[in-house]
Amino acid sequence: MDSALKNISDKVENQIRLTPEDGLALLQTNDIWTLCELADKVKRRLHGDLVYYNINRHLNYSNICALSCKFCAFYRKKDQDGAYEYSIEQAVEEATKAQAAGATEMHIVGGLHPFLPFSYYTDMLSAIRDAAPSLHIKAFTAVEIVHLARISKRPDDLKAVLSDLKDAGLGSLPGGGAEVFDDRVHDEAFKGKIRSDKWIQVHNDSHELGIMSNATILYGHIESLQDRIHHLCMLREAQDDAIARDLPGRFQTVIPLPFIPDDSELEHLPGPTGLENLKMLATCRLMLDNFPHVKAFWIMQTLELSQLALHAGVDDLDGTVVWYDITHVGGENTHQEIGVTQLRTAAIEAGLVPVERDTLYRPVIRDSATWHIKAESEATV
């Protein structure tokens, strides 16, 4: 065992919180076996043999964005080639198809559109809720929420904006837009976007309103390993605060997102390697002791790596996404779908037990496209 991990191993055994220095040692170690074993121990303590997955659809309603983040290959300016936006009717059509196919969740995010009014967003939510009431709507990153507060002329009342969105049908917040909580990285790679304090504030406010949320970190570009650990510690602190205040909402899941360089302004960077991805997923599990779940987003991690990560702290695979526009690993095609069988096989082959969940991690009982939340008395199929 790497001697730097000995003390950490004792802490994990005794459930003692890891320090930022411990986090750095985890990211720097070459002792991948011990790292994965420690992360797996924590994952098993929380979830045993279970691996969660969900049946969802992503809707990227517009790629038109007022920002020009250097890591992003998704955004377009209003009249640029390839710029698009969905009408409410088109969004509803996608939701109706998703519901008919048995999806439990619609994950909706887009660029910061300079011209759409606030009513577009509330109308989209309520129209989807009415047309497809069984779908949980997980929508809008903290960055979009701040944008919506500005366009609805309430820049300092994020809670009122979140409350309006909740009334219109918003179920929870996804974890995007966090990038890396560091001012140097912010100014070099995504200047103009909200900083860490605002991102955390949006999630805090949503937790106060009983809206659950997720958190991401976008790693493997121009940030340092120290920056990554600092980001994880800020998330841990925010969750500590939500727990201490007994808020009705919490962070559910951390999703470490490996930087995909293709077609971005940072295309010259190599992006993280497989080993780096594994280390990052395991380190998230070990550092974020107050987050219930660690998700491998296979669209970015690949299914192969995500499967390995099931023995490195990951308990959740997202999901049977069909169309995904923000990143494309190894090609231009936005049709990125894997079936339930492939997800389940990935878990079973790893010696684990796949469980379909809804957005709030309640087990789902399914008969083809028909499903319900498992009751206490029901056996899991």
Residue ranges in contact with ligand V47 by CB under 6 A? 71-73, 141, 174-177, 179, 214, 216, 218, 255, 257, 259-260, 264, 297, 300, 318, 326-327
Which residue, 171 or 175, has its beta carbon nearer to ligand V47? 175
Question: Among residues 91, 179, 101, which one has the least CA distance to residue 141?
Answer: 179
With respect to ligand V47, which residue has the nearer C-beta, 258 or 354? 258
Q: Is residue 94 a contact partner of residue 108, using CB atoms and an 8 Å limit?
A: no
> Torsions phi, psi of 208, nearest 5?
-65, -30
Which whole-number Å values give the CA distances from 308 to 36, 281, 350, in the listed order?
10, 11, 8
Are the C-beta atoms of 24 and 232 separated by less than 8 Å? no
Cis? peptide before 319, omega within 30° of 0: yes
Give the Cβ contact number of residue 273 at 10 Å: 11
- Nearest residue to ligand V47, using CB? 176
- Shortest distance (Å) from residue 18 CB to ligand V47: 24
Q: Min. distance of Cβ 62 from ligand V47 in angstroms? A: 14
Asked if residues 172 and 213 have their Cβ atoms less than 8 Å apart, the reply is yes
Nearer to ligand V47, 270 or 351 (CB): 270
CB atoms within 10 A of CB 318: 23
CB of 2 to ligand V47, least distance (A): 29
In angstroms, give the least distance from the CB of 215 to ligand V47.
Answer: 8
For residue 21, give both structure tokens: 């220095």
Cite the beta strand spans of 193-325 per DSSP E: 212-219, 251-258, 293-297, 316-318
Cβ at position 257, least distance to ligand V47 in Å: 4
355: left (phi over 0), alpha (psi -120 to 50) or beta: beta
Closest CB to ligand V47 among 71 and 121?
71
Output the smallest distance, CB 212 to ligand V47, in A: 10
Residue 38: strand, helix, or coil: helix
Smallest gap from residue 136 Cβ to ligand V47 (A): 11
Closer Cβ to ligand V47, 22 or 179, answer by number: 179
The residue (of 151 and 218) whose beta carbon lies closer to ligand V47 is 218
Minimal distance, residue 175 CB to ligand V47, in Å: 4
CA torsion angle 166 169 172 174 (round to 10):
-110
Phi-psi sector, 198: left (phi>0), alpha (psi -120 to 50), beta: alpha
Find the shortest distance in angstroms from Cβ 334 to ligand V47: 14
Strand partners, 138: 107, 172
In the complex with ligand V47, the residue whose CB is nearer, 34 or 359, is: 359
Rounded to whole angstroms, the Cα distance separating 7 from 165 reads 46
**Closest to 59 (Cα-Cα) out of 99, 83, 86:** 86
Are 119 and 72 a contacting pair, CB within 8 Å?
no
User: Closest CB to ligand V47 among 183 and 267?
Assistant: 267
| Closer of 38 and 284 to ligand V47 (Cβ) | 284
